Amino acid sequence: MGAFAYVAPSSVAEALAVLDEHASLGKRAQVLAGGTDVLVQMRTVDTQPRTLVDIKGVAETNRVDIGVTETFIGAAIPSAVLNDNAELKALFPGVIESADLIGSTQIQGRASIGGNLCNSSPAGDTIPALIASSGVCVIAARGGNREVPVEDFVSGVGTNVLEPNEFLIGIKFPNPAPGTADAYLRFIPRTEMDIAVVGAGVSVTIDENGTCTAARVAIGAVAPTVLLVTRASDALVGTQLDDTALEAAGVACTEAASPISDKRGTVEYRLKVVAVLCRRATAIARDRAKVREGTK
Ligand SMILES: Cc1cc2nc3c(=O)[nH]c(=O)nc-3n(C[C@H](O)[C@H](O)[C@H](O)COP(=O)(O)OP(=O)(O)OC[C@H]3O[C@@H](n4cnc5c(N)ncnc54)[C@H](O)[C@@H]3O)c2cc1C
């Protein structure tokens, strides 16, 4: 591991000042949350010196705020803490199940959804779920916070729209409308502790007749960035979310995907599995939505 300095600011302003100072001096600073990606990378692929800016002591990044119309989840909250939040689980079961899939119990004691998103891996488990639930990134920046929908945040493999003097404070979501529910599924070759071969996050809204009135489908690990597949949503809206509709949404996901072959799966395999996961995640979201709508 290369040399590094460490600072632990206690406010957004302090964190921004450190990042800003480093950016203006051309010195490298890197935000640290749980460190479950950063420390692995520092020991292997990225050993260059830097200042680690630990944002876990910044109150806003640890805040959960469930409001009347909106919910905010701080970027640095460990997934173990999120998994224990029954209210969040009830509102956004798909988001919380995606956080619950990260690593092991030990990893979840540190790993945050902010870190998962900012690491910006195509296979990051929370990203499809955050997109499906219409998450919006709240970014601390000079001159005030700015907001970016999660689907526009990641710009490539391991890259995102954050400037060197910015950091993610958290993610906000519109509270699910009546008859709305989400779900996340991933496929890995082992039972746990592996990177997704494919992931699928789905949110659907149904009315009192069981007709789908809104849908968002996002797929991971099948393109350089997680994709919001609007043609899959189009295939679901206006239907009863029956097998025919689910099949059409799965086909749309396969058509949108542009995966690579690697040791975890071939292109052909991923193209098949993405359709299967889309169908299954949609069925789970539909059944949850029916319970919420009171039609099941
Ligand atoms: C054994 C093991 C198993 C794993 N299993 C999984 C898995 O199943 N699924 C999965 O998706 N991932 C997995 N991971 C990867 C990792 O645990 C997750 O990506 C985790 O969510 C990262 O969160 P963190 O808080 O540890 O981020 P960190 O390591 O602290 O940061 C990750 C990246 O995001 C940046 N960053 C963090 N927070 C912010 C912020 N608020 N603002 C700006 N930049 C920020 C950092 O600079 C860094 O580039 C695993 C890792 C290990 C070591």
How does pLDDT run across 89-125, given as a tens digit for each residue?
999 999 999 999 999 999 999 999 999 999 999 999 9
Whether residue 60 has its Cβ less than 6 Å from ligand 1? no
3-state SS class at 252: helix
For residue 242, pLDDT beyond 80: yes
Q: pTM of the entire structure?
A: 0.97
111 within ligand 1 shell (Cβ under 6 A): yes
Instruction: Give the Å distance between the CA of 211 and the centre of ligand 1.
Output: 38
210, pLDDT greater than 80: yes
pLDDT at position 190: 78
Confidence grade of residue 18 (pLDDT, cut at 50, 70, 90): very high
Give yes or no for residue 191 having a pLDDT over 90. no
Interval between CA 73 and ligand 1 midpoint (Å): 16
At residue 158, does pLDDT exceed 80? yes
- pLDDT single digits (tens) 30-57: 999 999 999 999 999 999 999 999 999 9
- pLDDT given for residue 195 in this prediction: 86
Q: Pick from 82, 102, 154 the residue to mutate for probing ligand 1's pocket: most ligand atoms within 8 Å of its CB.
A: 102
Share of the chain above pLDDT 70, in %: 99
Report the atom number in ligand 1 closest to the C-alpha of 103.
5
Residue of 7, 36, 83, 121 to mutate, ligand 1, most atoms within 8 A of C-beta: 36
**Taking the alpha carbons of 30, 228, 82, 80 in that order, is the dihedral positive or negative?**
negative
> What is the per-residue pLDDT for 193?
75
pLDDT attached to residue 202? 98
Q: Which residues does 205 contact at the CB level (< 8 Å), separation at least 6?
A: 176, 177, 179, 180, 212, 213, 214, 215, 289
Side-chain half-sphere exposure of 143, counting CA atoms within 13 A: 3
HSE-CB of 16 using CA atoms within 13 angstroms: 14
Token readout for 277 is: 């996961």
- Average the pLDDT over 135-163 and give the result: 97
Tell me, in angstroms, the distance from the centre of ligand 1 to residue 155's CA.
17
Regarding the beta carbon of 102 and ligand 1, being less than 6 Å apart is answered yes
9 lines ligand 1 (CB under 6 A): no
Contact assessment for residue 261 and residue 267, using Cβ atoms and an 8 Å cutoff: yes
Given a cut of 80, whether residue 169 has pLDDT beyond it is yes
Is 290 buried (19+), middle (13-18) or exposed (0-12) by CB count in 10 A? middle
